[in-house]
Amino acid sequence: MKKPKTVIIDYGAGNVRSLGNMLTFLDVPYKITDDKFVIKNADRIIFPGQGHFAQAMEKLNSKDMTPFIQDIVSNGKVFLGICLGLQVLFETSEEAPGTQGLGIFEGNVKKFQAGKTPQIGWNKIKTTKNNSYLNDDYFYFVNSFHVCPKCADIISSNANYHIDFCASVEYKNITAVQFHPEKSSNAGINFFKNWLYKE
């Protein structure tokens, strides 16, 4: 089986080391880069993120990455967003009023109103019929906010933390997850195998 050329986008707001360790474990060649030519020519693109919505968008804008990511996504590149890399795909976030996200999906990001935040630890997801890569399993979450898609059809799994919330989305070439599959043991390994190799 051909190993896909995989790129982790390095824009200064991602946990790239854990992702690299996961890909090394799976024996998948990868590069960590902000070089647009390299990213554009990859088979699989991973868009990680940790931290604050506004800071992430500021870094993307400062590197002129916002229109670039919008373009490669619209042109069908196989794309995976992780954690904050899911949230910034939406239009706005309660974490940063007035800051525009990438707007690839309609909807916003809301803060959990109950329970201790951030949610830290293992939580079980329940997949929907719009799911190609995940199993109903426990994944590792670290999040105070959750996405609220305008179109529920893109949701590929949900979880519960005092409320039911969207744990992942899938639409055409785009997959994005709130949890950290790179820190989710066997469940994460299975997800990455599916996402990397499934046509």
Q: Is 148 assigned a catalytic role? A: no
41: left (phi over 0), alpha (psi -120 to 50) or beta: alpha
DSSP alpha helix (H) spans, the chain:
16-25, 36-40, 53-62, 66-74, 84-87, 185-197
Contact 148, 161 (CB under 8 A): no
- The residue type of 85 is G
* Catalytic position from the list 52, 146, 180, 199: 180
Length of the chain: 199
Q: Distance between CA 68 and CA 163 in Å, rounded?
A: 35
Output the CA torsion 10→12→13→15 (10° steps): 60
Q: Per the residue annotation, which of 58, 83, 166, 170 is the catalytic one?
A: 83
Residue 182 is among the residues annotated as catalytic for this protein:
yes
Q: Is 151 in the active site?
A: no
- What does the alpha-carbon distance between residue 57 and residue 61 come to, in Å, rounded to a whole number? 6
CB 87 within 8 A of CB 52: no
Residues annotated as catalytic are 83, 180, 182
